[in-house]
Amino acid sequence: MTDPAATGLLRLTLARACAWALLVAGWIGIGSLALQFAPSLASGFALVALWLLALGAAATVATRGGMHRWTRAMALGIGAALASIALLATVRGGGLYAVLGAVLGWSALTALASGVVRSLRQAQPVPPGPPIAAATLGALCAGLVLGDLGDVTALASRLALLVCAAVAVLLVLQRPLEATPRPGCRAGLFDCSLPAWPAGAWRDSMQWPTLLAGLAMLPMMAALPLMADWCRAQAIAPQAMVLLHLAAMFGPALVLRRAIARWSVRALASVCALLLLAGAAFALLAPAPVDLFGLAMAHGAAWGLAWGGQLWAPARRGQQGTSPLLAATGYAVLTLVFGVIVEYAGARGVADVHATLGIVAGAAWLTSLAIAARRHTAAPASVDPHGQPPRL
């Protein structure tokens, strides 16, 4: 006899994996096509920023409760058709306009997949744990599908197949009846998977390393197509770079997912600071191609641990009900700034951005330790000689 709870959890895990595969493959795949067909590097990054902005706008609508199953099914089909046709058209003369179609179709599709995940998650009798294992599975599938980012003809075909396969699975996994909408989702760009940081977190220097580690995903994902080309120049298989990059992002978070839940704010910040500093050292001091590999491994692990720690700890979650469009706008602006830097500085610009993240994180970490030590030293002065606390 089948356990309904186990079946529901399996359905949720598969839906999460599909949604994450679409998110990761879209971010890297759309970025690869954009950089290939855009007239300049900066405009290519602008297309990636547009994809993020469109994803946030679509998620604002698609992740709301109350969407009928057949309405979402029809929207999934339309999004898949638009994305697939546009992807195939990019390498058949469609060029930049086809990339724009793929941006819009894929963003809507990813947001709808997030809506399927949300409906399945809210239907669980017991709130499920963070999607770390499912996200790792989805990222692995995305990495295998992406393959060689430089072969855009084959890449477009593989991405179109991924879209069709993911939508077919999501259509099967949809619940016959939507669950009653209820609060409880961590807010952010991607429903319950990329949550926004709590308001006011930047005022605490101890949290800066973790916050900066969470931002490290942006330049890494945006620059991955360029890093694949640089690896090819070093006679390194681009597929290996992509898979190692994703393994660094999700592997440590998966292995340490239970331990992270028990880490304090200081412990998580310390680990993130050390990893970001290690990545900065690789970027500034190591020779090629060790610099790129070391940077990707260290900063990928820092992002994964910051992400996992945020998902587990209620104190580090964003406010519920925050619009995904707000987080998407921030990501889009940072992508545009990063694109301008890479336009003018190339590979050195990528290294400098990551080195800056590491140096700032290390400085904030040392500052927080100094503040904590000063408070600890000053604490006895607040007690009078008789051992009584001062009256207020």
226, part of any domain: yes
Q: How far is CA 58 from CA 62, 114, 275, in A?
A: 6, 10, 34
Q: CB within 8 A of 344, min separation 6: which ones?
A: none
* Per-residue pLDDT at 182 exceeds 70: no
189, part of any domain: yes
Average pLDDT (265-284) is 93
CB atoms within 10 A of CB 99: 25
CATH number of the domain that 175 lies in? 1.20.1250.20
Question: Are 283 and 299 within 8 A, CB to CB?
Answer: no
The reported pLDDT for the residue numbered 281 is 95
Using the CB atoms, write b or e for 161-178: b if 16+ within 10 Å: ebbeebbebbeebbeeeb
AA identity, residue 145 = V
**What gap in Å lies between CA 339 and CA 325, rounded to an integer?**
21
Q: What is the pLDDT of residues 60-84, one digit of tens each?
A: 776 666 677 888 889 999 999 999 9
The reported pLDDT for the residue numbered 225 is 81
Residue 274: pLDDT band with limits 50, 70, 90: very high
Average pLDDT (320-348) is 82
Tell me which DSSP letter residue 1 carries.
Answer: -
248, part of any domain: yes
Residue 3: phi, psi to the nearest 5? -80, 115
392, part of any domain: no
385, part of any domain: no
Lowest average pLDDT, out of 104-118, 168-182, 295-309, 358-372, goes to 168-182
293, part of any domain: yes
Strand partners, 194: 190
**What gap in Å lies between CA 238 and CA 235, rounded to an integer?**
9
Residue 190: name the closest of 331, 366, 355 by CA. 331
Residue 188: pLDDT band with limits 50, 70, 90: very low
The reported pLDDT for the residue numbered 360 is 95
Average pLDDT (312-339) is 72
Lowest average pLDDT, out of 168-177, 239-248, 381-390, goes to 381-390
389, part of any domain: no
185, part of any domain: yes
Domain tally for the chain?
Answer: 1
Q: Containing domain of residue 355, as a range?
A: 4-375
